[in-house]
Chain A
Amino acid sequence: MDDEAAVDLTRQGDRRGPEWLLARYQMSVYTLTYRMLGNQADAEDATQEVFLRAFQRLHQYRPSEPFGGWLTGIARHYSIDVLRQRRPAADLVEPSSSVDVERTVLDRLDRARVQAAVNRLPNRDRTLLVLRYWEDQPVDRIAQLLGMSEGAAKVALLRARRSLAGILTREVATDAV
């Protein structure tokens, strides 16, 4: 079976269609939503909603476009909407005045620590950094997704990195105390 056949089966109400599409794409969609939303529970809910929306909107799907790309687009938009509805981060950390994080700070960073720091960022900063550095999206695409100009997106990315540097520097400094 291929994507087109599975989509046709889904439109006809044949359960084999959605089963096949789920088996093929749920990993990529779940990975994206997990990176965007930062926790397993939200990623699970979001993944389910993304697939259900896709199945309801199959009449909008153009066979000339890869189904995976279309589905990923739905997942990104949905994740951004979820993040917009989240409460802002309670603790806003003073961003680092400098973009360059000191070597001593970098040496103490591990993946879990960086991921936790990203999750503590304000929603917009988090979305910017995730789209750019975890989803490898170009700046113009990020600008389009977030409804801003490309120039504004470039500046916002710089400021988001500063915010992250501020969180990491403060955490490492707290460790040293």
Chain B
Amino acid sequence: MQCEEARRRLRSGEDVEAEAHLAECATCFAVLEEGDPLAGVLRAARPEVREVPAAIAAGVLRRWRAPRVSWRLGLAAAAGLLVVATVLAALTIWLAPATVAKPLGVASNALDIVATIVNGILAVPRVLFADRPAVIAGYAVLVIIVCGLWVRLYQSIAFQRRRVTR
């Protein structure tokens, strides 16, 4: 379709063919827009704001919280330290076994004590859950669901706090 024909049709009313031409023709779009007095009226009617409500800045500053160290960052740092400590300990044992023999002996005794305590704590559930994998699985699922619900509840409370503005 020729541009003149498309513009004539579009000035007269809706025309699917002419609109298809308009979609592809930057010249027709510009001509029609510039020739439309409503475009000028719209620009002249642009709202101008003279004053910003004082409540805006106060509201933002009240709701803004200084950034805290992310718990993920803390967890990552702790995991990283653990890895580094483990690697260093392994290297030390490998490189100088005689040097660490006595401390390891002490550590071994300490570990035995800890293991005894832990075994004592776990004795009751071990008896309860022995040969009952379904019970263990169910218990694990229950713990996961409760943790998930707790996280959602916390997020919901935190979100509601952020929405309070006035």
Q: Judging by beta carbons under 8 Å apart, are B49 and A22 in contact?
A: no
Q: Report, as a range, how many residues of chain B touch the other chain.
A: 35 or more
**For residue A48, which residues in chain B have a CB less than 8 angstroms away from its CB?**
56, 59-60, 63, 165
Tell me which of A15, A44, A52, A154 contacts B22 (CB under 8 A): A154
Known: A99-B32, A100-B37, A109-B41. A35 touches B46 (CB 8 A): yes
Known: A22-B61, A100-B11, A100-B36. A129 touches B24 (CB 8 A): no
Using a CB-CB cutoff of 8 Å, which residues 1-49 of chain B contact chain A? Answer: 10-14, 19, 22-24, 29, 32-33, 36-39, 41-49
Q: Report, as a range, how many residues of chain A touch the other chain.
A: 35 or more
Q: Judging by beta carbons under 8 Å apart, are B60 and A98 in contact?
A: no
**For residue B36, which residues in chain A have a CB less than 8 angstroms away from its CB?**
99-100, 161
Q: Judging by beta carbons under 8 Å apart, are A18 and B23 in contact?
A: no
Docked pose: A150 CA to B52 CA in angstroms: 34
Q: Judging by beta carbons under 8 Å apart, are B42 and A129 in contact?
A: yes
Q: Is B133 an interface residue (CB 8 A)?
A: no
With both beta carbons as reference points, the residue of chain A lying nearest to B60 in the complex is identified as A51
Known: A106-B41, A133-B39, A165-B38. A155 touches B23 (CB 8 A): yes
16 contacts between A and B (CB under 8 A): A11-B67, A26-B57, A31-B49, A44-B56, A47-B52, A48-B63, A51-B60, A52-B63, A98-B12, A98-B13, A114-B44, A114-B45, A133-B46, A134-B46, A158-B10, A161-B36
Give 6 closest A-B pairs by Cβ, nearest first: A151-B23, A13-B66, A114-B45, A133-B42, A97-B13, A31-B49
Residues of chain A whose beta carbon lies under 8 Å from any beta carbon of chain B: 11, 13-15, 18-19, 22-23, 26-27, 30-31, 34-35, 40, 44-45, 47-48, 51-52, 55, 97-101, 106, 109, 111, 114-115, 118, 129, 133-134, 139, 149-152, 154-155, 157-159, 161-162, 164-165, 168
Residues of chain B whose beta carbon lies under 8 Å from any beta carbon of chain A: 10-14, 19, 22-24, 29, 32-33, 36-39, 41-49, 52-53, 55-57, 59-61, 63-64, 66-67, 162, 165
